[in-house]
Amino acid sequence: MRLHALDTGAREGTRAPALVIPGMGESAEEYEWLLDVLGDRRVVAVDVRGRGRSDAPASGYRWEDHYGDVAAVVSELAVDHPVVVAFSRGSSYGLGYALSAPAAVRGLVIGDYGARHVGLPPEMADRQLASVLRGVPMSERMPEHAVRGVVEESVEVPLWGRLGELECPVLVIRGGRRGGLVNEEVAAQWQAALPGVELALLAEAGHDLWSYDREAYLAVLLPFLERVDRAVPQP
């Protein structure tokens, strides 16, 4: 199976590379703006299976398959100890990768999601196919069989009890408006399960954290990346 990723290439210096994992139905190309903003560091944006320009197999859409795609891209492109920057369902793939190789991840950014891989009810497939994201119908973003595969092969995987296995700083960015998934209750779960977690609220964003106000998103993301950079050992 072929996987597609955007890669800005290696950069000199000690800045940690960023590994971007889009959400459900998103493609790596939708994050080209972020690659431009982070031009002083290497950035790799991944199309996991069934998304973007990656292959969409007939089956194989489990949680393990998706974070396995992330691991394959990291290995093939030799991405050295990245900061994982994920959004929505991509956050569970980022968590899966970080938990499978905790020493290989320098930082983790969770985009409005809990510490779980969500098991989806069967009716979610039709709801997803009827949805529209940033003006583009989901039916044009992903093949129908891939959407149905993601839903049918999903199994609830709670990860709250495993957060202590992480060896890196974690930032959770959440939206303050209707539609945000990390409400006050979920934010409290993050704090209880991972006392060192950083929580950032974008008051004017919903679940879609950056489409309407990229500057607010960057005002939270960039300082976190700088803090991770300062923690990187000098060569």
Say which residues have a Cβ less than 8 Å from residue 25's Cβ, sequence separation at least 6: 51, 128, 131, 133, 138, 141, 142, 147
22-24-28 Cα angle (round to 5): 30
Strands 198-202 and 136-137: unpaired
pLDDT computed for residue 234 by the predictor? 46
pLDDT computed for residue 231 by the predictor? 86
pLDDT computed for residue 86 by the predictor? 98
pLDDT computed for residue 235 by the predictor? 45
The pLDDT profile of the chain, 235 residues, written as one tens digit per residue, is 999 999 999 877 789 999 999 999 999 999 999 999 998 899 999 999 999 999 999 999 999 999 999 999 999 999 999 999 999 999 999 999 999 999 999 999 999 999 999 999 999 999 999 999 999 999 999 999 999 999 999 999 999 999 999 999 999 999 999 999 999 999 999 999 999 999 999 999 999 999 999 999 999 999 999 999 998 654 4
Q: Are 171 and 191 in contact (CB under 8 A)?
A: no
Q: Are 113 and 21 in contact (CB under 8 A)?
A: no
- Rounded-to-integer distance, Cα 234 and Cα 128, Å: 46
**Tokens 């903003």, located at residue:** 37
Residue 161 CA from chain centroid, whole number? 20
pLDDT computed for residue 232 by the predictor? 61
- Helix/strand/coil (H, E, C) string of 8-37? CCCCCCCCCCEEEECCCCCCHHHHHHHHHH
- The full DSSP string for the chain is ---EEEE----SSSPPPEEEE--TT--GGGGHHHHHHTTTS-EEEEE-TTSTTS---SS--SHHHHHHHHHHHHHHHT--SPEEEE-THHHHHHHHHHHHSGGG-SEEEEES--SEEPPPPTTHHHHHHT-EETTEEHHHHS-HHHHHHHHHT---EE-GGGGGG--S-EEEEEE-STT-S--HHHHHHHHHH-TT-EEEEETT--SS-SSS-HHHHHHHHHHHHHHHHHHSPP-
Look up residue 91 and give its two tokens.
């956050």
Q: What is the CATH number of domain 4-223?
A: 3.40.50.1820
Look up residue 155 and give its two tokens.
């199994």
Mean per-residue pLDDT of the chain: 96
- Rounded-to-integer distance, Cα 26 and Cα 138, Å: 9
Half-sphere exposure of 106 (CA within 13 A, CB side): 21
